[in-house]
Chain A
Amino acid sequence: MDTPEVKHSRWPSPIWLVPLVSLLVAGWLLYDQLLQRDVQIEITFENGSGIKPGVDLRYRGVPVGSVDEIVLSDDLKQVSVHASLNRDAEKLAREKSRFWIVEPELGIAGARNLDTLVSGKYIAVEPGEGEPEKEFEGLETPPEQQPNLGLKVTLVADHLGSLKKGRKIYYRDLQVGTIGESELSQDGRFVEIQAIIEPKYARLVRSNTRFWNSSGLTVDIGLFKGAEVQASSLENLLRGGISFATPPEAGPLAKAGERFDLYKQPEDDWREWAPIMKWK
């Protein structure tokens, strides 16, 4: 092998800096681009409508990645969305991170995510704890409507009325929970409605708590008192919801799965109940 070497000088010619620097820079470029490429993740959804390659992944409204391709699962029961997360958003892919599809919601009581009407749907991500993870189970509804968290109790009512899934549960007109799935009781006489109270408000629900349907108006017309109209909130009036109150002698904390009757309307004094309950 006759690689030329400059023998006259003690030091190799500075010419050899060219390949050396090239090696360093090219190596760094390769490392930077290949080993630290976007993080590939996979999210499975039951329904991928509106999601197509190129759709954004967003966190706090800012794009942090995009969908590469969508494939059907082998049993055709799910779609799995392959997406790449930007390198700087790598930390969003943790064990308990949650992904859901954001779509426009239009209703008489309000509209949300209207921007998605124009820009199309996107996948929102909420970071979670735990080890880095590549495969995720997508949520079917946004986490604020997620029935998985919080105290679940069952409300028994004669009719479902307008208490559909996703409607809210109020304590003193403050939203503290969500209505989950409903189903017919086993004997067919009642409707069982699942109520999910946010974890931080779970202490407000006691064994003697009363739940009532706060949808609609309560109109009370009397000969001497005139007409009295009661509605908990306009949104509630339009969308339907459930309110609850706990008597002053608050009972023990409600257990998960406990059953409560759902009253059609509150009795007069329920609204005045104001037990002191440290809810934090």
Chain B
Amino acid sequence: MATDVSPGQQRALAWSLLIAAVVWLVPANLLPIMAVTETGRGKASTIADGIWQLFEAGMPGIAIIVFIASLLVPFFKVLVLAVIYWRVPHENNPRISTRAYRLVYWIGRWSMLDVFVVALLAAVVEFGNLARVEPGPGILAFALAVVLTMLSAHAFSPQQLWIQDPDGADHGHA
């Protein structure tokens, strides 16, 4: 983050990006992320559909992994970031907050996994009418949510957590 930006503006940017990410999480989970066409039989599935299909196919292990990676983690990240941002002006335990922030920042780079999987499947599974995978609108929303979350985390600088008596007074915090 550029240093000539005030902490308040920095936080405003982080917040706005985070809110945008939350907005995009809704269609990401409600809309189909990909449509699989097998021998002419098409089926569009959302993230939850996919997890349920894995579960029904007798792969509870993978189902749980996908559930955690694709459903829980995005929400978890957003939630943790929101809590961190919110606590900044009156942070009393900067160590834990910084750890949480670093964790979220670190997970960020793995979050596009779903998008890569869909992109890969769409490119590889292309056998005309036999089998075809087409990306759905949900994956676009998912990718946007992930990118916005990462940008938000990036816009925020954890140094703010360590400012002892924050000049939060001039940000309207009484």
Contacts and interface: CB of A to CB of B under 8 A. Distances in A.
B143 interface: no
Interface in A2-21: 2-7, 13, 15-16, 18-19, 21
Contact of B19 (A6, A19, A30, A53): A19
Given A4-B171, A5-B172, A7-B172, A26 B141 contact: yes
A54 B39 contact: yes
A19 B122 CA distance: 30
Interface residues of B, number: 31
Interface range for A: 20 to 34
Nearest to B13: A15
B136 to A, nearest CB: 9
Contact of B16 (A19, A29, A53, A55): A19
A30 B41 CA distance: 24
A29 B20 contact: no
Given A4-B11, A15-B13, A54-B40, A30 B26 contact: yes
Contacts of B128: none
B9 A30 contact: no
B26 to A, nearest CB: 6
A52 B8 CA distance: 60
Nearest to A67: B41
A2 B8 CA distance: 11
B30 interface: yes
Contact of B27 (A3, A30, A53): A30
A186 interface: no
A33 interface: yes
Given A2-B173, A19-B16, A29-B141, A13 B23 contact: no
A22 B145 CA distance: 10
A23 B16 CA distance: 11
A34 interface: yes
Interface in A113-158: none
Chain B's interface: helix, strand, loop or mixed, by majority? helix
Interface in B1-31: 8-9, 11-13, 15-17, 19-20, 23-24, 26-27, 30-31
Contacts of B27: 26, 29-30, 33
Contact of B20 (A5, A6, A19, A30): A19
Nearest to B40: A54
B24 A4 contact: no
A15 B26 contact: no
B9 A6 contact: yes
A44 interface: no
A246 interface: no
A17 to B, nearest CB: 8
Interface of B: 8-9, 11-13, 15-17, 19-20, 23-24, 26-27, 30-31, 37, 39-42, 86, 89, 137, 141, 144, 148, 168, 171-173
25 contacts: A2-B171, A2-B172, A3-B15, A4-B8, A4-B11, A5-B12, A6-B8, A7-B171, A13-B16, A15-B16, A18-B16, A18-B20, A19-B19, A21-B20, A23-B23, A26-B24, A26-B27, A29-B137, A30-B26, A30-B27, A30-B31, A33-B27, A33-B137, A54-B37, A54-B41
